[in-house]
Chain A
């Protein structure tokens, strides 16, 4: 595969938290890459380090060692504002993704460095939201609406990479299906590259081109979704598949 296709990559990322004298290795030598226009799924249980990885990719935290590359250029240790120019994050807690005191309009426009009126309404149409919602605050919107709005906010910036952190796990199944369909549509129509973190193996199998399985801060298996799930090599992946409730 030509390297020019890779928009985002991380090499040998390590992170160790120290809490009251106890050491916790949150990331152990994790490497990954994301190709242009693909959806990379990261699965793992709670505490596997998948959310920590996203926080590192977006520069919200600094790794102890390892490098992060955007289109081949290193950006390790840069401020989050720098990472924000090419990637945006969508969080699990949709409601708390917005300042509870702020109207949507302000919150969305603030994040986008002056996004034009036409662009905004185009984006709202793309995520399937009514413009009237811009006058509302997060507390008066449903979880699904908030999550769509936070996707809209991410799209308002010029970022071409979305990092989705368990974006659907707090949503109802039917709402989840809608949000997932939206994410897929964004990938297909807008050519966005997406990292999709989830604990739901079935969901990831439906959505993602490639998949990475994490356990205790390590990447135990990585590859094309059909290969990893069809013929799992690692014990842990097998275990996850066995315990899947459909």
Chain B
């Protein structure tokens, strides 16, 4: 019975992973797939309904929504991946260090993490992005400022559990330095749960970036980004609903796919 469930879980992981990879590929090859230039305005084709030429219709400036959604995928997904990767590396690094050495270092980083956790992520992000001014980079900084804490906490607690294992102590007695032990014995053994956590963070981060852009604190127009596209087009949603609908659908689908992938991987790992 258990065996069967494991098999089902594996299929789930493979399926959701392939959909996720497909999305990433679309983002990567946006310039090849896109039928039109996403930034080319066309005065004669303003707010045209979806047709063979403009699959998702055009927006207020006559730009092809389909091409913009594809290019937006590139912006959103790339920004998310970079942000998650940086927070993951930085947070895990800090977490492993403070978990292994403990003491004052641990005390300080964990108090900072506590403070960060006390506020909802989006509230902090809006405040920070507001201070830094618009732009994709400041939106990423604004989100990253709270995101690393999650990784740090997770890495710290796993390190804590492992550092008293006999094999770590044996390595200490064998004369291994702290950094060598962390690299050779601790990190490889905790990397799996950390990566799983990173995977589940992708969805939330995507919401964050699109959300900030929607509020005008992220990507600056005319750059194609789903959140800012929705924001630009919502004024004329009754005349050209497609200009809002398609980027919204793209956002939702992508978030669901990555969240589902994260959940599946987590479930699959828990089975062992």
Contact = CB atoms under 8 A, between A and B. Distances in A.
Q: Taking the complex as a whole, does A directly touch B, i.e. does some CB pair lie under 8 Å apart?
A: yes
A81 B166 contact: no
A15 B176 CA distance: 25
Interface string A54-87: 0000101000000000000000000011011101
Interface in B43-66: none
Given A99-B185, A100-B189, A101-B188, A81 B169 contact: no
A60 B175 contact: no
Contacts of B175: 81, 84-85, 113
B170 interface: yes
Contacts of B177: 81
B119 interface: no
A201 interface: no
Contacts of B184: 99, 110
A96 B167 contact: yes
Contact of B172 (A60, A97, A101): A60
A140 to B, nearest CB: 15
B32 interface: no
Contacts of B172: 60, 80-81, 84
B166 A96 contact: yes
A91 interface: yes
Contacts of A153: 170
A88 B188 CA distance: 25
Interface in A148-192: 150, 153, 157
Nearest to A87: B173
A108 to B, nearest CB: 10
A93 B177 CA distance: 23
B174 interface: yes
B166 A93 contact: yes
Contact of A157 (B166, B169, B174, B189): B174
Contacts of B185: 99, 102
B173 A81 contact: yes
A109 B175 CA distance: 13
Interface in A110-158: 110-113, 150, 153, 157
A93 B168 CA distance: 12
Interface string B175-187: 1110000001100
Contacts of A99: 167, 171, 184-185, 188-189
Contact of B174 (A91, A102, A111): A111
Contacts of A60: 169, 172-173
B165 interface: yes
A83 B175 CA distance: 9
Given A99-B185, A101-B188, A111 B171 contact: yes
B173 A84 contact: yes
A34 interface: no
Contacts of B167: 96-99, 107
B144 to A, nearest CB: 30
Contacts, number: 64
A93 B167 CA distance: 9
Contacts of A85: 175
A92 B169 CA distance: 12
A80 B188 contact: no
Interface string B111-148: 00000000000000000000000000000000000000
A67 to B, nearest CB: 20
A84 B175 CA distance: 6
A128 B76 CA distance: 60
B160 to A, nearest CB: 15
Most-contacted residue by chain A among B165, B166, B173, B185 (CB, 10 A): B173
Given A81-B176, A85-B175, A100-B189, A111 B170 contact: yes
A85 B172 CA distance: 11
A8 interface: no
Given A97-B166, A97-B167, A99-B185, A112 B173 contact: no
A197 interface: no
A89 interface: yes
A99 B174 CA distance: 14
Contact of B169 (A89, A100, A107, A113): A89
B165 A112 contact: no
A52 B143 CA distance: 45
Interface of A: 58, 60, 80-81, 83-85, 87-89, 91-93, 96-102, 107, 110-113, 150, 153, 157
What 4 pairs across the A-B complex have the smallest Cβ distances? A91-B166, A81-B175, A84-B173, A111-B174
29 contacts: A58-B169, A58-B173, A60-B172, A60-B173, A80-B169, A80-B172, A81-B173, A81-B174, A81-B176, A81-B177, A83-B173, A84-B173, A84-B175, A88-B170, A93-B165, A93-B166, A97-B166, A97-B170, A98-B167, A99-B167, A99-B171, A99-B185, A99-B188, A99-B189, A101-B188, A101-B189, A110-B171, A111-B170, A150-B166
